[in-house]
Amino acid sequence: MTDELERLRGRSVLVAGAGVSGRATIEPLTDLGAHVTVTDRDERALAECAALGARTVDLDTLVDDSAALREFALVVTSPGFPPDAPLLSRAAGAAVPIWGDIELSWRIDRAEIYGPARRWLVVTGTNGKTTTTTMVHAILEAAGRSSVACGNIGLPVLDALRRDDPRADVLAVELSSFQLHWAPSVRPDAGVVLNIAEDHLDWHGGIENYIEAKLGALTGAVGVLGLDDPIAGGLLDRSRAVVTVGFTLGYPQEGELGISGELLVDRAFADSAVLARVDDVTPPGPAGLSDALAAAALARAIDVPESAVHDGLRRHRVGPHRAAPVGQVDGVDYIDDSKATNPHAARSSLLARDRVVWIAGGLLKGARVDDLVAEVAPRLSGAVLLGRDAGDIAEALTRHAPQVPVVVVDTSDDEAMTDATSETDTPPVTRIVAPGADGPTAMRVAVREAAALASAGETVLLAPAAASLDMFADYAERGRSFASAVEELRGGGTHR
């Protein structure tokens, strides 16, 4: 790998994407002696890259100039670019190698450009990645290991590698399927596939490609599988790890971690070691316990003692926008789970509560919601939908939960759309027209409508089951908009 990096000295490298991960590549590539060009459509982001010493070029201009691509020795792509993106297709056609930022990070680390190579503990899955990654970091800190949580969690791995005060010897790395797709060389000390459900199918072109990307976490010394998940649990024969173990919410067999009574138990890295009590785990409930077992497995794979697992899990606290309470108004609880960006994640939140008014919608990314709606229908007191794919969710509710009143906050300018009606006695879908409203404004309308549907003792739950980028900068802005709208309710007094 050192030779491949050496060949970049004095050569031109193209960075596709001027966002956080793209910007993080500029200084390391410059340290390698490469001449860096960044391409994007965002002029402001390109200006930030230029301030770091990179040449910049508009994406559309570059795509239209195939000959220019042949000048580059390498393309380093941000994870948002799918394989069939015109820029990458043209680069591949010109025989230019394509690495993701994680591939570059791995090669730089193995070449010890920034000191001795780190130990990588990789977390992937459709849901629970961030919680598991922060749990791993908490456990490592409790063990006295110098570590950092990085990757898809927010801190680019390259930035983590360049830190030397303090230096991190162990990386808890959250990786998305996008990042894994573009990182074929990664061989972690341990990696986990938590679960797999339909997500990002538009990017990958189908579920099998999505699964294949996730398998990139199971290529190192130890692979860990979520056995309770039907797809992830069935990947044992496809794991390329030297040793593969599993975790389950049931009693663990040999080679597994699981739960015995009120205890988290390890029978994979010990005969039968008690790791923690169920009550030690935050967030509580099945999803939190699964994440804790996964985190414990990764830590135990690099010989972290049971006592550190116990202490780390006790100290761990859930991050914002992950089933976080934001207030109570007139006896109704308001919960922000904006991080539930796909149906699988929303399912966990919905099933954790008895009676819910559900706020959902956004970009479904090719995922289907029929199975989710059919399962949670008995718990729904109402649903308020917004975002580009709100209509798909409304149709699923009409099919599988016809008794549930549904409100769609429509921000489009399509005046041809009319309120849905029903020929039965079931509640119709009500359309609230707010043409041109931005995300925060639409969220205020959604929260107000949800409040009108909710009764004391129930929960208004933001669990969108969809991505946020159609209306918000990210899921965090969506969650903040929800919390702000709830605060307005609180200040406005009773809503019933």
Integer Cα distance of 204 and 256 in angstroms: 31
Side chain identity, residue 447: V
The residues with which 122 forms a beta bridge, in sequence order, are 173, 191
Residue 131 annotated in ligand binding: yes
Kindly state the DSSP code that residue 119 receives in the 8-state scheme.
E
136 phi-psi bin (left φ>0, alpha ψ -120 to 50, beta other): alpha
| 124 in a known ligand binding site | no
Q: Would the annotation count 223 as a binding residue?
A: no
| Phi (first) and psi of residue 371, to 5 degrees | -65, -40
Q: Please, are residues 384 and 450 in contact by the beta-carbon 8 Å criterion?
A: yes
Chain centre to alpha carbon of residue 103:
19
Q: State which amino acid sits at residue 455.
A: S
Strands (E), 92-169: 98-100, 119-124, 147-151
Q: Looking at residue 330, what DSSP letter applies?
A: T
Q: Where are the alpha helices (DSSP H) in 259-376?
A: 286-301, 306-315, 343-351, 370-376
Among the listed residues 125, 124, 150, the one whose alpha carbon sits nearest the alpha carbon of residue 137: 150
130 annotated binding-site participant: yes
For residue 358, the cross-strand partners are 383, 461
CA 339 to chain centre: 8
What is the maximal distance between C-alpha atoms in the chain?
73
Name the one residue in this structure whose structure tokens are 């008895």: 354
**Pairing outcome for strands 256-260 and 263-266:** antiparallel
128 is in an annotated binding site: yes
Residues annotated within a binding site for ATP: 125-131
Residues annotated within a binding site: 125-131
